[in-house]
Amino acid sequence: MLAFLSAFPPVLQALFATLFTWSVTALGAAFVFVNKTVSRRLLVLMLGFAAGVMIYVGFVDLFCSSKNVLGFAYANIFFLIGLILIYFLDRAVPHIHMDGQVDSQCNRLYRSGIMTTIGIAIHNLPEGMTVALVSLADLRLGVPVAIAIAIHNIPEGLACSIPLYCATSDRKKSCLLSFAAGMTEPLGAILAVLLLYPFLNDWLLAAASAMVAGIMVFLCFDELIPIANRYGSEHVTNMGIIAGFAMMMIGLSLMGTF
């Protein structure tokens, strides 16, 4: 994936990376066509892995690189701004945290599915901006971040499509609504490129990196880890987190040698 994206200009690299995360949301939604779900253990391991990748990248690479440009105090300020922005967005949006599970009674599932779809659609905007900004700052970081967000988009697609399908028995409508919710990630990337890219310099890019680090860390501790622990063993979650750390340690070390 890295070699493929490297052939394109930076703006297209950022957009393609975000389209990849949307495609995986669509993949999760498409499970209603085959009437399957991801096993809990695998889902928990995947969510832990995604959290490990995002936490490692957020603290070790994005924040540290931002600190080298801005200084420790300013890097902390922008990191905190990222945390606060995503916190208030999460509070303001009627966002039902996804787990990919289905209420066997299907009671009130249509309203729940609609609210979940709206919440995830709005919630995906900063995620799309995150992938775009990280890719613009450093493509070698943008690829693993895109993969990590894509992994956690699988249960998002399930959370949108399965309740709607249970309530309506309409596979096509359920998938289309889930696809629409996922499309806000590329929209977030487009907004980031249009609004920020023309003005980016080293200082603003470092500030954006620190804010993105805050957003990524919040998503991990507010969504990925709690959901993984709720629907599986915390030991499996921790195995996934450690695997995510290890992958990024090895990957960034190898990339640094070339």
- Alpha carbon dihedral 188, 86, 95, 192, in 10-degree steps, equals 0
* Domains of the chain, residue spans: 11-256
**pTM for this prediction:** 0.66
Of 191, 177, 62, the C-alpha closest to 113 is 177
Output the six-digit token pair for 188: 């977030």
The whole-angstrom distance between residue 256's C-alpha and the CA centroid of its chain comes to 25
| pLDDT tens for each residue of the chain, 258 residues long | 555 666 667 777 777 788 877 777 777 667 666 655 556 787 788 778 878 888 888 888 789 888 999 999 999 999 999 999 888 877 776 555 544 444 444 445 566 566 657 666 766 777 788 788 888 777 777 777 888 777 767 766 766 676 677 666 777 777 777 777 778 888 888 888 887 777 777 888 888 888 888 888 888 888 778 878 887 788 999 998 999 898 878 866 765 543
Burial class (CB in 10 A: 0-12, 13-18, 19+), 143: buried
Amino acid at the residue 44 = V
Q: Which two tokens stand for residue 153?
A: 């988009």
Query: Side-chain half-sphere of 173: how many Cα atoms within 13 Å?
Result: 11
Are residues 37 and 166 in contact, defined by beta-carbon separation less than 8 angstroms?
no
Tokens coding 168:
């309506």
Q: Using CA atoms, how far apart are residues 145 and 253, in angstroms rounded to an integer?
A: 16
